[in-house]
């Protein structure tokens, strides 16, 4: 009986291992979703296309384990074939490729957290999927019932869309509260020129919607204020707030110089009441500090008390004193 039990256990493990080959090691999605059945080995050297990209970028990454650890923070070197899949999908390959290429990213990572793999058990999700259920006999369709069902489904779909929009709006409000930068960052209302809306969006932070201050660029080509994106990454998680692409503080880089030149040359209105000047964004801090210095000097000169008058303007009685 012990031998039979051991044979059954080894057979279950081999079946489990065979089924693992149908799933991606990184995201956990099945390969059948890709019509071209593109898959890549977790262990081994990178493919020719990725290798040529790294030569252009002068990067010294030659193996998939190193690249996976750098992009997804997953250590695959200690993987066991009976627990972990040995291949990953084309979507995860595209995420790694676009991270190091200069092309704009249109790939969506399906999970916020990394996939966890466990040894085979009696209630294994890999071996006992939810879609295995008894098939029922098909009944003749009722026209009125089908119309009612269609109405209910449409209403449910609309409710889901509304909830999705509300969740997106609420998350945006949460990010604005996290940034809390209204006192240190400039509003787009201070721009001296009435620019088109797409241009204003391009030179404003995607989180606080103020004019970019100390801008940084993510690997997915979205631009934020440095302090805003760092606060959001710390609280909300390691993904881009705009497209949910995996993003870490070490991935943030300064935008290209031409973009910074355009940003610094923007003319903004001085918010001081007694000043109607328009200054460039690059000279804004110096201009505002000059206002503060002039106020401080005025306070320093006028120490209080009665101001001195010239002797000739005083009466004779006052001149004697």
pLDDT tens digits along 262-319: 999 999 888 877 787 888 888 888 888 887 766 655 444 444 445 555 555 555 555 5
Domain assignment of residue 36, yes or no: yes
Domain assignment of residue 268, yes or no: no
Nearest one of 75, 97, 99 to 26, comparing CA atoms: 75
For the chain, how many structural domains are there in total? 1
Domain assignment of residue 89, yes or no: yes
pLDDT for 311: 52
Q: Bigger pLDDT: 259 or 134?
A: 259
Residue 154 burial by CB count (10 A; 0-12/13-18/19+): exposed, middle or buried? exposed
DSSP string covering 101-169: SSSPP----S-SS--------TT-TTTS-TT--PPPPPPPPPHHHHHHHHHHHHHHHHHHHHHHHHHHH
Domain assignment of residue 27, yes or no: yes
Average pLDDT, the chain: 76
Cα 220 to Cα 98: distance, rounded to the nearest angstrom: 8
pLDDT for 42: 92
Cα 302 to Cα 7: distance, rounded to the nearest angstrom: 97
Q: Is the pLDDT of residue 193 over 70?
A: yes
Is residue 135 very low, low, confident or very high in pLDDT (cuts 50, 70, 90)? very low
Q: Is the pLDDT of residue 89 over 60?
A: yes
Q: Bigger pLDDT: 175 or 229?
A: 229
Where on the phi/psi map is residue 162: left (φ > 0), alpha (ψ -120 to 50), or beta? alpha
Domain assignment of residue 18, yes or no: yes
pLDDT for 29: 84
Nearest one of 219, 18, 207, 216 to 109, comparing CA atoms: 219
C-alpha torsion angle, residues 15, 17, 18, 23 (rounded to 10): 130
Q: Is the pLDDT of residue 251 over 60?
A: yes
Domain assignment of residue 131, yes or no: no
Domain that holds residue 58: 2-100
User: Given the DSSP bridges, would you call strands 39-41 and 267-269 parallel, antiparallel or unpaired?
Assistant: unpaired
Domain assignment of residue 90, yes or no: yes
Domain assignment of residue 304, yes or no: no
Q: Is the pLDDT of residue 57 over 80?
A: no
């Amino acid at each position: 009986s012990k031998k039979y039990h051991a044979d059954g256990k080894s057979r279950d493990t081999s079946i489990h291992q065979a089924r693992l080959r149908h799933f991606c090691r990184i995201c956990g999605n099945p390969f059948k979703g890709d019509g071209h059945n593109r898959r890549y080995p977790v262990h081994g050297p990178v493919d020719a296309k990725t290798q040529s990209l790294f030569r252009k970028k002068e990067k010294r990454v030659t193996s998939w384990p190193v690249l996976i650890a750098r992009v997804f923070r997953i250590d695959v070197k200690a993987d066991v074939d009976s627990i972990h899949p040995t291949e990953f999908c084309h979507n995860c390959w595209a995420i790694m490729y676009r991270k190091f290429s200069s092309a704009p990213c249109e790939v969506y990572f399906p999970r916020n957290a990394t996939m966890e793999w466990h040894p085979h058990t009696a209630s294994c999700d890999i071996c006992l999927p939810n879609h295995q259920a008894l098939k029922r006999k098909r009944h003749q369709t009722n026209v009125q019932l089908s119309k009612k069902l269609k109405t209910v489904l449409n209403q449910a779909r609309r409710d889901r869309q509304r909830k999705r929009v509300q969740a997106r709006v609420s998350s945006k409000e949460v990010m604005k509260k996290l940034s809390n930068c209204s006192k240190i960052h400039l509003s787009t209302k201070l721009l001296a020129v009435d620019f088109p809306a797409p241009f204003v969006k391009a030179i404003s932070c995607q989180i606080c919607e103020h004019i970019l201050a100390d801008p940084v660029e993510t690997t997915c080509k979205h631009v934020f204020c440095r302090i805003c994106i760092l606060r959001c990454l710390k609280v909300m998680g390691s993904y881009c707030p705009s497209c949910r692409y995996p993003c870490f503080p070490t991935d943030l880089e300064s935008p290209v110089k031409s973009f910074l030149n355009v940003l610094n040359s923007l003319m903004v209105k001085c918010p001081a009441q007694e000043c109607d000047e328009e200054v460039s964004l690059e000279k804004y801090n110096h201009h505002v500090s000059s206002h503060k210095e002039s106020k401080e000097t005025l306070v320093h000169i006028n120490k209080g008390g009665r101001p001195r008058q010239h002797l000739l303007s005083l009466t004779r009685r006052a001149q004697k004193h």
